[in-house]
Each structure stands twice: as C-alpha cells, then as structure tokens.
Structure 1
C-alpha cells in the first residue's frame, strides 16, 4: 500500500473544501484497503516461510512471477485510457532530473551510515542531488507541461499531507527494521517465527485502515490524523519500554497493538488529505508527490534512526539499548505528525461505505 490512487479516485473536492465520496458505494476504497492490508499480512507470514525454506533470496525471486501475473492482469482487466489531450508534451527533462536527484539522495541516505557521512562518495552524492533537484525546480517553473506543477503546493491540504507522509515514512515505516532485529537477534526468533510475530501488527494495521475510513467520515480528517499520530507515538513509546535484552514478545505486544491500529488510522487520513482540494486531472500528480514523499521519508528515517541509535556492531544489552533508543526517537518523531495535523482545517468528510 504505497499509493493514494484509490483515495484520489474516490474523493473529489467540493466548493468550500468539503470532500464527498465519488465512488457511489465505496467498494473501490474497500477493495484497495483490503487488498493492501491482506498483502501486508500474507507477506509477513509467507516471507518468513520462504526465507526459512530457501533463504532470504527467495523473497526477491518470488516477485518475478507475481509481477508477470500483475502485468498480464493489467492488460486483461484494466480498461484502456481514453483519448489524450492534444498539444501536451512529456516533461522529459523534469523526469530525468527528478529521477537522478531523488536516486542520488536515496543512495546517500541508505549508504551513509555504512560508508560514513563524511566519505567522498556520500558528500558528492548529496551535493549532486541538491544541484539536480534545484535544476528540476527551475525547469518546472518554466515548463508549460510540468511533471510537478509547483502551484499544487499552494493547496494547504496537499502540502500538509506531504509533511505528514514524510513523518510517517521516517517513523512508522522505519520501525519494522528495528523490530526485525529485536525479534531475530535479541529474542532469537527464526525467519518463520519472525513472520508470525509480524502477522499481529499487520492485521491490526488492516483493522486501522478500515476504522480510519469510518472515523474520517464521522469526525473529520483532521481529528482522525490527530488520533492516529498521538496513538502511534504512545504505542511506539510502549514498544520501546518493552524492549530489553531479557524481554519477550509479550512485553512489546501492548505497544504493538496501539501502534498498529494507529498506523492504519494515520495511513487512511494522510491519503485522504493528499487528494483533498486537488483537481481531478491532477490527482495522479498529487498521488505521485505523496508517494515520493513516503519513499524519501522511509530512506531518511532508517538512515537517521540507525545512526542515532548507534547500533553498529553492538550485541546483547548494548544492542537492546540501541534498539530502544531508536524506537523512542521514532515515537518522538511521530509527535511532529501531530503538529502538522493541527494545520488542517476543521472540516468533516462524508463517510465512505466500506466493504
């Protein structure tokens, strides 16, 4: 579940900033949320089984036949695009500059903790990424058919949603790494047991996404995001308290329950926010911006939390202490999402019908 496409298709802005369901019965929304949550739950379990049977390489090989099935299904099931608008051009310079800049930035963030932030390769990558992204912004300002129309950032809901999504990537999306290290290295779980351990939060996230859709319709997007981010911070802090060298799964389970449901609530609210007030013809662009923010935030969060926790070659008590530090920092970071959520207008959206 890495795109807000269904939210952008199922919600359109009305005069005054209110948002009403575009899909009559919300079935598309229910299918999208359910499919993503089911994939998360099944992936946690099957990933452990594949790793236990054939090694970690299996989780990459299995993507090949699955991707082939998806490609074939897209041609067979998805209707062809309608007539394209004449006179429009593909923004090739913008696409090249954005792809190169974001790729270099992601490389620096991911490789930085291992190579050292002051190493020539990391410093040069960061500098070149900044230059390329600055050039991208310059090109977009002058382009008649911009890949990323800068005027979209004038939409407060979209710009605030992107900030929330960045925080989500930095915090929520980074936590599975630290939990994996805790389960396998500290608690001594095997691949299958780790997959089963992740099945619980995956199911709770699935529940949270469905609950988030209902809450957004009843109490509004703003309050839904506030509940999700505050609950996420509280649950993550509880997980950190339960992490110890002689701990157990039961010690972190209460925090996982709260954190999982809250993550689902936040997920739902932030994608609704990213689609609010955006014209129908630009929903794809807005969704792309939001998805890019999620990926960049995820890379940034993992790099920062690994560096801040000082894991390195730590073992035993030192490793557990480093993991606890990383999780606590993530909990504090989630409160930034709460601060951003307060910037959203106090508007209620119509409750979507969920399946």
Structure 2
C-alpha cells in the first residue's frame, strides 16, 4: 500500500482531513517474492550509474557540439547545467511522488521520460532544442536519482549486515560513473559522433524498464494518501534557478552588479518562502523535523560540497586537456579513466575501513582530494601526462571516493526505514544541486580569470591557450577550497570527533 503522508509541523494548526501525524509507516516490500536483495541493489546501481554518467558524458562532447550547433561558452555550460538544475530542483518532488504512488510507478515514469528525452537530444538541430532535451532528461532523472539510495536503504532495512556492502556498491557505481562517463563520451564522440552520447541511453533505459517490471512489486490500486506539494516544488525550483543564474552572471557582469545582486536577493527570498511553505503545509516535500536527526544536516552539507567539487573538476579537467593540451575526445576520456577506477576502488574500500572502526574518512578524503586539485592547479602548458596529470587525478579520485560512501553512511545511519525516501531525496538533491552550483561558480571564475567574453555569442577572438590555462588554474584552486571546506564540514558528522581515527 502507498506510504502515509509525512508528519506535520507541531506548531501548525491541525488539518481538517484528520490524516495521522508522525513519520510515515514503513513502505511495503519492494521486490517480488523469491528474489534476492541483490536484485534491488543491481537496479539501484544501474539507474544511479546512468543518471550520474549522463551528467558527465556530455562534458567531453561539448567542443563537438559547439562546432556542430554553434554554441557559445555560456550556452555550452547550460547544456550541462540545464540537466543538473532540473534534476536537483525536482528530486524532492520525485521522492514524495515515490512515497505516494509507489517506487515502481515513479521509476517507470522517470525511465520513459529520460529515455525519450535522450532520443530527442540526439535529434536536436539547435542549441535551444538540445538544452530543452537536457532539461527534460533532468526531470526524468529526478525520478531515478531519488529512488536509487532509497531502494538500497529500504531493501536492507532488516538486513543491517548487508547495508554497508550494498551502500559501498551504490557509492562505487555512482561515484565512478562521473569519471567513466567522460571516457564513454570521448569514445562515442570520436568514433560515432556527439549525438551518440544521447542515443546510448535509449537501450539502457529500455533494459532498466524491463528489469523494474520483472523485479519490483506493483503498487496496489488504492488512491494515495496525501498530495504532492506543488507550490513547494515550484518555489524551490525557482529559487535554485535564480541562484544559479546569479552565480553564472557574477563572473560575466561582476559580483556587485545590479543583475547579480538582484538575482541573489530574489533567490534568498524564494528559498526562505520554501522553508515557510514546508513548515505550514500538511504534506510537505521535506518534513523539517528530519533535520534534527544526527548526521542529516552535516551530511547533506558535505555531499553538496562533494557534488560541487566532483562535477566541476571533471568539467574543468576534460576541457583543459582538450583545449590547452590538445587531446582528442577519446584521449581525454582515457586520461580520466584512472580517476574513475580510484573513485570506485576507494568507495568499496570505505566499507572495510568503516567496519574496522575508522571515523574520519570524509575528512581524510576531502583533504586528499584538495591536495590533488592544488597539484593540478600548477599544471604547465607543456604538461606530460605521467608526470603532471596522473598523480593529481589519482589523488582526486581516491579522496572523493572515500568521501562519498563514508559521508552518505554517516548521514543515513540514524534515519529510520520509514524516512529512507526522504533521506535519499535530500542527499541526491544536495549532490546534484552542488554539482550545478559548483559548475556555475567555477565556470564563472574560469571565464573571469581568462578575461574573455562568450566567444560563440559575440564573435570575439578565441582565448589563447595561455589564457585558458590561467583561467583553469584559478577555477581549480577554488575547487580545492571547496573540497577542503567539505573535509572540515565532515568533522560535524556523528563520531567524527571520536578519539579513534
């Protein structure tokens, strides 16, 4: 049966419907009878891999997209940002939809939309058409992203001995997908054309639709209890959109320009209104008392900073090696492969380290990643891969891999099974929103330090390799600061101040 609605704010007047208050009841079983937990974990990992890969796979293809469709640098960033922004903005709404209408129905709707939008993106013949398809992909991906961690938590609710193993597999698939997506994008762009970075999602989406149909229980036919908080979803998405607009325009018009300041002010007001709506509505997207659970506030902050550093660094490095070092799309993907391997290996290793009693893995991981980014910020114009690139990429991958799984575990350790959907929605929103904001902020810093305008839009002369390298150095320094800030924020997680390291 569908999950009952979230609890209401005790300060708000009792609603007239008389629906029960308090946390929602535990969800019904996800799997069909006779299927192992591994089936649910496999579906979650595959869906997570596809969603995260699609956030990165376009990075390497952007130069080819620019050449074919005539995009400028700002429009090219929106090919990535449109996906991340819509995904981050609608994840909480998708999480609530899954609670009300069932995981399988939400997953199926997300897969259908994501697969159709991928096909439309491959057929796009203009920049606006491609950006619109990417936004539709993000909307479909929000239904997928919110379910992956929720499925893992729900499937292992009564099997604590399997939870860390399942979460390490989920973290390995989702974290490595970002770097491996760069490799896949490079191979497809060079050998099949950039449109295949869109088309490749179609067969994967169809296969996942079949797996969901065969493995997950259908919801019963009764009407859902509660309602979707559409006002909250619209206000939060508008607030995030304005925040992203203001951060992006800050590098172009100046951080103290009226456009930037007005956008920031409007974003703050809208996000404050969202909190007020959630406190007063009977069926909120976010049940505010969940933030009183140990690890939830600090864990989401760490994951937000992790998403910013990971997404932005992948974008910056993939553009740097192509535009400054002259790598082809496939060579750029191969260059990023060791980073993806380290991301997966470190996420898997995290489980053993946590089982052994390690308590400060997010701090160590964030510090190691910051060291790699600082090293990369000294990259010379005639860089040698083995000497100048391989070392920092290994550090970045290892550090971020340690950070993701351990921070997620700490943030969800105190969450009861009935709140698994909300917890996964919050963490995925934090990660995707962090990626969108990080890409906008660091992209603006790079453009400002480069000292050029939007080439494709204005017809100005392209930036020299030396100017592009200088801009990348500035953005990588900012990415290192974000990673170090995430490491420091992880000290607020439960157990991080324990005397045991």
Counterpart contact for 2:362–2:403, Cα < 8 Å: yes
Residue 382 of structure 2 is matched in structure 1 by: 246
In the other structure, the counterpart of 1:215 is 353
- In structure 2, the gaps of 5 or more residues are 1-47, 53-144, 453-462
1:170 corresponds to which residue? 308
| 2:296 is the counterpart of 1:147 | no
1:107 deviates by 4.2
In structure 2, the partner of 1:76 is 214
What residue number does 1:137 align with?
A: 275
Greater shift in the superposed pair: 265-274 or 72-81: 72-81
Which of residues 147, 150, 165 is equivalent to 1:5?
150
1:202 to 2:346 alignment: no
Correspondence for 2:199: 61
Question: Does structure 1 residue 32 correspond to structure 2 residue 170?
Answer: yes
- The answer to whether 1:319 aligns with 2:468 is yes
Shift of 1:278: 1.6
2:484 is aligned to 335
- 1-side partners of 2:363 and 2:184: how far apart? 33
Q: CA deviation at 1:159?
A: 0.2
Alignment deviations for residues 103-138 of structure 1 (CA, whole Å, 9 cap, x no partner): 343344446545766777766654443333222211
Who is 2:87 aligned against?
Answer: none
1:164-222 Cα offsets, whole Å, 9 max, x none, are: 112112222210111112210111000111111111111111111101122122234x4
Give unmatched runs, 5+ long, in structure 1.
Answer: 13-19, 349-355
Summarize deviations over 1:37-83 as a string: whole Å, max 9, x none. 66456533321121113433321232234333323332232222468
2:285 aligns to what SS in structure 1?
A: coil
Distance 2:321 2:286 in 1: 41
CA distance in 1, matches of 2:165, 2:196: 34
Q: 8 Å contact 2:303–2:427 — kept in the other structure?
A: yes
Compared CA separation, residues 25 and 286, structure 1 to 2 (3 A): closer
Say how many residue pairs are matched: 340
Q: 1:7 to 1:118 in 2, by over 3 A?
A: farther
Give 1:268's match in structure 2, choosing from 405, 419, 430: 405
Moved more, 227-236 or 120-129: 120-129
Q: Does 1:235 align with 2:372?
A: yes
User: In structure 1, what is the equivalent of residue 3 of structure 2?
Assistant: none
Partner of 2:326: 188
Q: Contact conserved, 1:184 with 1:190, CA < 8 A, in 2?
A: yes
Encode CA deviations 1:307-334: one digit per residue, 9 max, x unaligned: 3341353422232222122212221222
Alignment of 1:92-111 (within 5 A): 92-110=230-248
Give the direction of change, closer, same or farther, for the CA distance of 1:30–1:228 in structure 2 (3 Å limit).
closer
More divergent stretch after superposition (112-121 vs 266-275) = 112-121
1:158 and 1:276 in contact (8 A); partners too: no
Task: State whether residues 180 and 333 of structure 2, in contact with CA within 8 Å, keep that contact through their aligned partners in structure 1.
Answer: no
Q: Assess, with a 3 A threshold, how the Cα gap between structure 1 residues 312 and 71 changes in structure 2: closer, same or farther.
A: farther
Quick one: distance in 2 between partners of 1:152 and 1:253?
A: 41
SS of the residue corresponding to residue 299 of structure 1 reads: helix
The answer to whether the Cα contact below 8 Å between 1:10 and 1:22 also exists between their aligned partners in 2 is no
Q: Is the 8 A contact 2:312 2:435 kept in 1?
A: yes
Question: Aligned-pair RMSD on alpha carbons?
Answer: 3.1
In the alignment, is the contact (CA less than 8 A) between 2:311 and 2:435 conserved in 1? Answer: yes
TM-score, length-normalised on structure 2?
Answer: 0.61
Deviations 1:10-49 (A, max 9, x none): 776xxxxxxx962547653354345446645653332112
Determine the structure 1 residue equivalent to 2:460: none
Shift of the 82–197 alpha-carbon distance from structure 1 to 2, 3 Å rule, reads: farther
The structure whose RCO (Cα within 8 Å, separation 6+) is larger is 1
